[in-house]
Amino acid sequence: MTARHHRGSQRLGAGAPPAQQEPPSRVRASAPRQRGPTPGSAARTTIDIILQGSTVELFHAHGVAVAPLGSSPVGEQQRYHESAGMLGFDGPSFSGMLTLSLPPPVFHALCEASPRSGTTTLADWTQELTNQLLGRIKNRLSVFQTNIRSHLPSVLSGVAPERLRQRTPSEILYRFRSLRGDILVTLDAPLGDTVLVYSGSAGVAHEGDVILF
């Protein structure tokens, strides 16, 4: 036992620093790691976070505070209020349909917080907000090397949205609470094997920038 200890002591003494002077963690000296692909359910989680964050920021920019209440498969839940904005999109990674619907009291809150003309209608607001929401989502997806192209937005009222939009297993409902009622957003975009790859080099637009669709 003594001999083995002596030989080990000779090896450590050959110019090596004492053990107590070594860095406490090798992680601090390692190169930063690149974020890898985010497949399957991880991609769904990323999109959920992007959509909810984009919606909160959108309504905050228009003077209405909202809070996300979570997301779930739409199933038999209520999807729309009196009117619903609909906006399709497509891209190399995935395609789908985004809808947004707000109750009349939230529309009145938007009008109160905005210097717009009093002739602006619920349909006008719904169409513009749907378009702006997809623009924000598109902007955030750009850092995941994912580009989507939006179609023309439309607004449907009454029973028309339910008749035209068949419920599918891939449709997700997002609820947002406000003081004037719940805002409903749905996203029907089958992801399949979609992979999102983070890239910090992508340029992200800021509030007030012009985004070309």
Q: Is residue 179 part of a domain?
A: yes
Q: Which of residues 74 and 31 earns the better pLDDT score?
A: 74
As a whole number, mean pLDDT of residues 139-154 equals 92
Q: Is residue 55 part of a domain?
A: yes
3-class secondary structure, 103:
coil
Q: Is residue 46 part of a domain?
A: yes
What is the C-alpha separation between 198 and 143, in angstroms, rounded? 6
Number of domains in the chain: 1
H or E, element range at 7: helix 2-12
Q: Is residue 161 part of a domain?
A: yes
Q: Is residue 118 part of a domain?
A: yes
Domain span including residue 166: 37-188
Q: Is residue 61 part of a domain?
A: yes
Q: Is residue 132 part of a domain?
A: yes
- What the block records as the tokens of 71 is 């997301």
State pLDDT tens for residues 38-71: 455 788 899 999 999 999 999 999 999 999 999 9
State pLDDT tens for residues 66-125: 999 999 999 999 999 999 999 999 988 889 999 999 999 999 999 998 876 566 899 999
Q: Distances in Å between the alpha carbon of 158 and those of 26, 83, 162, 173?
A: 63, 7, 8, 19
pLDDT confidence of residue 120: 85
Q: Is residue 84 part of a domain?
A: yes
Report the CATH number at residue 148: 3.40.1550.10
As a whole number, mean pLDDT of residues 136-142 equals 94
Q: Give percent of the chain above pLDDT 90.
A: 57
